[in-house]
């Protein structure tokens, strides 16, 4: 088969479409013939040499894919060769085939194209686990998501609105904010021109945000705590603005607030399987009913992964950028 390899870390040109050995599904795994994969920030970090795959994972980038089951490994039940699926991966999505633990498979939701299904596993698992399983966002609460026009952001807006929350977003242009509004965002904040702490306070009568989903990290840490409501929950899932910041514990104590930081890729298989099962139970009916939809900016041939990385790094996209594998055969 062919896959996107990284012979040496570097810029987008470091991604090389090359012939590699076919994966073999082990116990409890299935072999998926990949139709499409999606580009995530973690893939960029891996390309740059800053985010190695977990031990035992595929060396190729790609944290999610869609496709059809080509073979079942020992002990797999409940799935059949030919099933259309999408999957959460620890790596290997930028390839023609990938071995996937069966617990990380999802059926393609009703009404979703097989290619577009590649846009779903990572964002739904990340948002559901952090915003709902950990931060327990409830109806009527105010939810702030930074990077509202990103893949994570566009999914977070829709899921939060689906459960009855009030949604605030930050984004860097009027065009991106307009798209967030179309998806249901109530409070639109241009972070280049407005202070999100002031905007949240003004729009909540001084109360603050009950839950904040943050991809920035250190740069926003203090201001996120300022923006939290009493009993607020800050979920950090990215470090685009740095990894080390000063946390005002006094402010946190006064607000009886909580800060959590999680990643998805390196979790044990049983934790990933539990998250995927929760996504299938709670999110898949919303997608099948048309309440929540994948947001895809563009699709590119998988061999053009370098261009896809340039698009992601430019932040010119809204939603997900997908890579389409060549036809099987």
* CA–CA dist 222, 197 (Å, integer): 10
Q: What pLDDT is attached to residue 80?
A: 98
Distances in whole angstroms, Cα of residue 324 to Cα of each of 34, 60, 94, 111, 178: 8, 15, 9, 19, 28
> In the 3-class helix/strand/coil scheme, how is the chain assigned residue by residue?
CEEEECCCCCCHHHCEEEECCCCCCCCCEEEEEEEEEECCHHHHHHHHCCCCCCCCCCCCCCCEEEEEEEEECCCCCCCCCCCEEEEECCCCCCECEEEEEHHHEEECCCCCCCCHHHHCHHHHHHHHHHHHHHCCCCCCCEEEECCCCEHHHHHHHHHHHHCCCEEEEEECCHHHHHHHHHHCCCEEEECCCCCHHHHHHHHCCCCCEEEEEECCCHHHHHHHHHHEEEEEEEEECCCCCCCCCCCCHHHHHHHCCEEEECCCCCCCHHHHHHHHHHHHHHCHHHHHCCCCCCCEEEEEEHHHHHHHHHHHHHCCCCEEEEEECCCCC
* CA–CA dist 10, 15 (Å, integer): 8
User: pLDDT under 50 in the chain at which residues?
Assistant: none
pTM of the model: 0.97
Q: What pLDDT is attached to residue 320?
A: 98
Spatial CA neighbour of 13 closest among 302, 299, 300, 309:
309
Q: What angle do CA 268, 323, 105 make, to 5 degrees?
A: 35
Domains along the chain with CATH numbers: 1-121+283-322 (3.90.180.10), 134-259 (3.40.50.720)
Please provide residue 32's backbone torsions phi and psi, each rounded to the nearest 5 degrees: -105, 130
Q: For residues 121 and 98, is the Cβ–Cβ distance under 8 A?
A: no
* CA–CA dist 322, 115 (Å, integer): 8
Q: What pLDDT is attached to residue 130?
A: 98
Q: For residues 120 and 109, is the Cβ–Cβ distance under 8 A?
A: yes
* CA–CA dist 141, 307 (Å, integer): 39
């Amino acid at each position: 088969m062919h896959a996107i390899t990284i012979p040496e870390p570097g810029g987008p040109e470091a991604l090389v479409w090359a012939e590699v050995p076919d994966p073999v599904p082990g116990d409890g795994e299935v072999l998926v013939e990949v139709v499409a994969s999606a580009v995530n920030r973690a893939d960029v970090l891996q390309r740059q040499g800053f985010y190695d795959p977990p031990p035992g994972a595929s060396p190729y980038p790609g944290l999610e894919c869609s496709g059809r089951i080509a073979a079942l490994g020992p002990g797999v039940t409940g799935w059949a060769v030919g099933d259309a699926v999408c999957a959460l991966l620890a790596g290997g999505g930028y390839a023609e085939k990938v071995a996937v633990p069966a617990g990380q498979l999802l059926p393609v939701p009703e009404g979703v194209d097989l290619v577009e299904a590649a846009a779903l596993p990572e964002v739904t698992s990340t948002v559901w686990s952090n915003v709902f399983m950990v931060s327990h966002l409830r109806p009527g609460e105010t939810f702030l998501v930074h990077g509202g026009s990103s893949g994570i952001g566009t999914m977070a807006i829709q899921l939060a609105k689906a459960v009855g929350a009030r949604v605030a977003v930050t984004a860097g242009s009027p065009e991106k904010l307009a798209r967030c509004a179309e998806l249901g965002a109530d409070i639109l904040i241009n972070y280049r021109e407005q202070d999100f702490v002031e905007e949240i306070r003004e729009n909540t009568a001084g109360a603050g945000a009950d839950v904040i989903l943050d991809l920035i990290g250190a740069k926003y840490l203090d201001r996120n705590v300022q923006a939290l409501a009493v009993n607020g929950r800050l979920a950090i899932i990215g470090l685009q603005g740095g990894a080390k910041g000063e946390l005002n514990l006094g402010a946190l104590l006064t607000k009886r607030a909580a800060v959590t930081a999680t990643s998805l890729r390196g979790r044990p298989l049983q934790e990933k399987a539990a998250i995927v099962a929760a996504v299938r139970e709670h999110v898949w009916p919303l997608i099948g009913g048309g309440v929540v939809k994948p947001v895809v900016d563009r699709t590119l041939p998988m061999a053009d992964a370098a261009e896809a990385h340039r698009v992601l790094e430019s932040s010119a996209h809204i939603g997900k950028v997908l890579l389409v594998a060549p036809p099987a055969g």
